[in-house]
Amino acid sequence: MKNETAVRVCKNKKCQKVLPLGYKHKYCEACRNQQVENVKNIGKVVLGGVGAIASVVVAVVSIVKINPNKK
């Protein structure tokens, strides 16, 4: 059996807020929301980079098809 009277704090070293009794997560709500925002921002950057690379590939392929090297 776990000791339910032990004080639990947020696992974020910068936060250390006291978590309420019975709270099932390791991080407080604010830290969890910040983690979600960080994941969303990283996803936007990755998708933006993939989109830029895809547009360059499409441009190169279309140029090669329009002006093939004729010998």
Q: Is 39 left (phi over 0), alpha (psi -120 to 50) or beta?
A: alpha
Query: What pLDDT does 4 receive?
Result: 57
Query: Binning pLDDT at 50, 70 and 90, where does residue 60 land?
Result: confident
- d(CA 32, CA 53) in angstroms, rounded, equals 32
- d(CA 18, CA 48) in angstroms, rounded, equals 38
pTM, two decimals, is: 0.65
Q: Tell me: the pLDDT tens digits for 25-58?
A: 999 999 999 999 999 999 999 999 999 999 999 8
